[in-house]
Homo-oligomer: A and B are copies of this chain.
Amino acid sequence: MNAQQKFDAAIKENNSLVCLGLDVQIDQLPQAIRSQRNPLFEFNKAIIDATHDVVATYKPNIAFYEAYGIEGLKQLKMTIDYLHKSYANTPIILDAKRADIGNTSVMYAKAVYGYWEADAVTVYPHLGLDAVQPFFEYKHKLTILLLRTSNPDAAKLSDLKVNEKPFYLHLAAEVKSWNKENAGIFVGATYPTQLREIREIFPENFFLSAGLGAQGGDAKEAVQAGMDKNHGGIVFNASRSIIYASAGADFAEKAHEAAQKLRDEINSYRI
């Protein structure tokens, strides 16, 4: 089973397009967790155990672990190992946003797929094909190309007009010309029009989106713009709104509630 099939199966199994972002910060964790030996891992484990039946995939953003150095990265490894061991059918997206020239990308690809054992990873396509080819060599993995990020200033450069067409559509056309089956596509949910345009260019590819929750996108528009012809083929990431739904002892229970609520809301627009 390749990564895209693993994603499709997980979406079907839990009837969910929710991607849960494990973007954990020690100072945001409940007090009882903070004092433990491996607080990031213990928090993740409790969140995963509570939510595994309502989400399609987990997406740790590696920045949140790197910030705590080797100690943080060890707990990321523990989290990924725990997922593989306890929930082997649940795919893992490592949100690493890597990009470098060819011989360095070989090492990043080895890191994210070989060492971290992610099913999918986010990378920038802006340097051209030779810079991302080493990721695509891992044929059973899904390499997700960031076509349009969701931050406010992204538009300044992404929307620059090149021959009457915004830059991000040239980027999309360039990526399309690579003709990679194992390419995933990222477009922020805060831009449903762009999401729809880009979905039309890539009708078969798997999509990752983000920004429905904390960043305030319109959920209905984004879901309908992003899903494929089978009303799936995309996951929407949410993180803080779910994992920090409660700062008390009931954080895992509240995270389950919040994830289920988001799943059901998204599903109501999938018809």
A128 touches B101 (CB 8 A): no
Please choose the segment from A110-118, A218-226, A256-264 that sits at the chain B interface, where 4 or more of its residues have CB less than 8 A away.
A110-118
Q: Most chain-B CB neighbours within 10 Å: which of A25, A104, A155, A161?
A: A104
State the Cβ distance, A5 to closest chain B Cβ, in Å.
27
Which of B110, B111, B126, B129 contacts A126 (CB under 8 A)? Answer: B126
> Size class of A's contact patch?
35 or more
Please choose the segment from A35-43, A167-175, A193-201, A244-252 that sits at the chain B interface, where 4 or more of its residues have CB less than 8 A away.
A167-175
Number of copies: 2
Cβ of A229 within 8 Å of any chain B Cβ, yes or no, is no
The distance in angstroms between the C-alpha atoms of A134 and B153, with both chains bound, is 14
A151 touches B128 (CB 8 A): yes
Which of B107, B150, B160 contacts A64 (CB under 8 A)? Answer: B107
Cβ of A74 within 8 Å of any chain B Cβ, yes or no, is yes
Cβ of A269 within 8 Å of any chain B Cβ, yes or no, is no
Between-chain CB contacts (< 8 Å), 24 pairs: A25-B107, A63-B107, A63-B108, A63-B111, A66-B111, A67-B111, A67-B114, A68-B115, A70-B70, A70-B77, A97-B98, A101-B150, A101-B151, A127-B153, A127-B154, A127-B157, A128-B156, A130-B151, A131-B151, A157-B170, A157-B171, A157-B174, A160-B167, A162-B167
